[in-house]
Amino acid sequence: MLKTWLQRIKNIFLVAPPTMDKTFSLSPSRGLYNVKLARQLKQEQAQRPVTPLPNERTEIEALLTETFYARRNPDFTYRSFDFPWGNLFIAFYDSLIDAKMVQESVINPLLNSSPVDTNVEITTLLGLLTDCHVVQKVDTVESLVQSITKGYLFIFLDGYSQGLVLEVAADKGRAVETTQTESVVTGPYEGFVENVQKNLFLLRRRLASSDLIAEKLPAGRRERGPMYLLYFKGITNPKLVREMRRRLKSLDVDALHNLYRVEQYIQDNPRSLFSQMTLTERPDRTAAFLLEGSVAVLMEGSPLALIAPVTFWAQLHSPEDSYFRWPVASFVRIIRVFGMIVTIFLPGLYVAFVNFHPEMIPTELLMSIASSRERIPLPAALSLLFLEIAFEFIREAAQRVPKSIGPTIGIVGAIIIGQAVVEAGVVSPLSIIVMAMTALAGFSLPQFQLTYTLRIIRLGMLAAGSIFGIYGILLAMIILICHLVRIRSFGIPLLSPSSPLFAKEEDVLWRPPPFYDEKRPPLLRPLNQKNQATVTRPWSPQTPIELSLLQKEQFHKRKG
């Protein structure tokens, strides 16, 4: 019995080597990132070949099936129609087009048409499809792929090396509302909704690429809506995709209901207070994670996207960090980290200094604290605990009541309770200031799920400081750090790139300028590590390449 408990205490601080061998971990990028593949991708991007459309329907069908991964992308649809005047083939993304508009503007005119000449050409189809707003001809595979990913419908007549693309995109963005929990000052305001097709529409409209895969997976035995696993082919690590697919397919439940439950089913450490994945309601943030090499999960009935893997520092980043200038974004990130430290440690440190270490407080401030607590019957720890519970009541009440009176309850309740308890002599004014600073610091964090975790940890720090003083807070902090070090998110340490240290990863507290952000995060082991050219400002004479060219020209002039 004693040995079992000692082993449990040991597991709080360390991860046993056998456990590390059994858990999922991404291999080093050098083993997965093939040098030949990298060179091949660079050559393909440099050459950009133009492939003409084949003139056979079977070849077109095979080409699109392979290009758009039709077996894994259930929302990619293609059909074939046999008319007396020829064989017609159409292809489109079901999540991007308006089915009613396709039926009325494309299918019905073709079914009702009866051309006299059996040799129908592309120009004849143009005359039949007059109800569509935009009709264009395509004669290359590249333009065809780009058109379909943007929401166009492709029509191909067997025997011709040209096709038509029609604008029948669904206007599914009208019902999209602003985000509720991730509001920003700058940047887009649209957020996910409960319709997974609309959410796919928002992502595919933002990421017009055929490499964006949306695999359809079952959500539960008695649940109607499906789940979608999203990732980028050629960027996301295949091991990460397989592991996420394996965990999602292994779920054997009646219904999952929402992505909050899915997260608890598939995360590495379900008993931990800290989340190892991120839930976001913003399409722009989801697109940014996908381009970095992460995977996302969408679900019918849930207005969120589940992102994995993520680090602890990524949960401190706000969606509008990429819309601010990089010095401003870096400054705001530092403020958030400072706010996190304040909301965790300030109440515990206040109690520890007042009860156990008054010699560490300046004399004038100590006299002010003593005079304010002269008629207070409760100890400092109980006063802060009382205020903490009162603030929690106010938060919960403001969230449960109608939105029209929610802010009023929060403001009026805090003012009335704060003034009443001070006048009644229950708590000191300084305790009110400490709890107000703690609450404001917690509101500075962008992830509201993280604030709930930090509230519980704050109570633990308050208990440690009230019992053991500053030494108890230090011990609790060591236990907290050891717990964070052992947590992994799909094979990635939660505290990385700080522990273990990744010197090449710069996007933690300091947000690098966008023209220096040339590579994707190495933690995710992406197949294609570069996300932009090495020199993104070739017009500037201050770029290294331009400077080197100028130096060479000056050297040759002097030598000549």
Q: In the β-sheet with 86-93, what is the strand arrangement from edge to edge?
A: 76-83, 86-93, 152-157, 163-167, 135-138
With a cut of 50, say whether residue 360 has pLDDT above it.
yes
List, in order, residues 6 or more apart from 372 with CB less than 8 Å away: 428, 429, 430
Residue 549: what pLDDT?
52
CA 121 vs. chain centroid, Å, equals 47
> Residue 553 above 60 pLDDT?
no
For residue 31, pLDDT over 50 is answered with no
The pLDDT tens digits for 448-502 are 888 899 999 999 999 999 999 999 999 999 999 999 988 999 888 888 888 777 6
Question: What integer pLDDT is reported at residue 277 of this predicted model?
Answer: 92
- Could you tell me the two tokens for 12? 């709080």
Look at residue 21 and tell me whether its pLDDT is greater than 70.
Answer: no
64 to 2, 53, 54, 376: CA distances (angstroms): 63, 11, 11, 76
Answer yes or no: is pLDDT of 228 > 90: yes
Cα–Cα nearest to 138, from 128, 129, 148:
148
* CA distance linking residue 545 with residue 535, whole number of Å: 8
Length of the chain: 560
pLDDT at position 22, please?
53
Quote the pLDDT of residue 557: 56
The DSSP output letter for 169 is B
Render pLDDT for 296-353 as a digit per residue (tens, 0 to 9): 999 988 899 999 999 999 889 888 888 888 889 889 999 999 999 999 999 999 999 9
Q: What span, in angstroms and rounded, lies between the C-alpha atoms of 428 and 383?
A: 8
pLDDT of 55 reads 83
Cis peptide before 500 (omega within 30 of 0): yes
Contact 354, 381 (CB under 8 A): no
Q: Is the pLDDT of residue 175 over 70?
A: no
Name which of 200-204, 224-228, 434-438, 554-558 the model is least confident about: 554-558
* 3 state DSSP class of 278: strand
pLDDT at 272 over 80: yes
* CB atoms closer than 10 angstroms to residue 325: 11
Which has more pLDDT, 492 or 32? 492
Q: What is the pLDDT of residue 461?
A: 94
Backbone angles phi, psi at 408, to 5 degrees: -65, -45
Q: How confident is the model at residue 418 (pLDDT cuts 50, 70, 90)?
A: confident
Number of H helices, E strands in the chain: 21, 12
The answer, yes or no, to whether residue 543 has pLDDT greater than 80, is no
Is the entire prediction scored with pTM above 0.85? Answer: no
The pLDDT of 262-276, averaged and rounded, is 89
* 91 beta partners: 78, 154
Residue 516: predicted pLDDT: 78
The tally of CA atoms less than 13 A away on the side-chain side of residue 263 is 25
pLDDT recorded at residue 269: 87
pLDDT at 92 over 70: yes
Of all residues in the chain, what percent carry a pLDDT higher than 90? 20
Euclidean distance between the first and final Cα of the chain, in Å? 87
Distance CA 202, CA 281 (A): 11
The residue ranges of every structural domain in the chain are 57-167, 196-310, 336-493, 533-560
Q: Which whole number is the average pLDDT over 527-534?
A: 79
Tens digits of residue pLDDT in 364-408: 888 888 887 778 888 888 989 988 888 888 888 877 777 666 666
Q: Which pLDDT does position 541 carry in this prediction? A: 66
More confident residue, 44 or 137: 137
C-beta pairs of 7-16 under 8 Å, 24+ apart in sequence: 11/486, 12/479, 12/482, 12/483, 12/486, 13/479, 13/482, 13/486, 14/482, 14/486, 15/486
Q: Above 60 in pLDDT, residue 39?
A: no
Number of CB atoms found within 10 A of residue 282's CB: 24
Instruction: Return phi, psi of residue 217, to 5°.
Output: -130, 150
pLDDT, residue 37, reads 46
Range of 73-87, 134-148, 328-342 with top mean pLDDT: 328-342
Q: Which of 172-181, 229-238, 359-368, 421-430 has the highest mean pLDDT?
A: 229-238
pLDDT of residue 286: 93
Per-residue pLDDT for 560 more than 60?
Answer: no
- % of the chain at pLDDT higher than 70: 79
CA dist 535 and 52 (Å) reads: 32
Contact in structure between 230 and 252 (CB atoms under 8 Å): no
When the pLDDT of each residue in the chain is averaged and rounded to a whole number, the result is: 81
**H-helix segments, 233-299:** 238-249, 259-266, 283-292
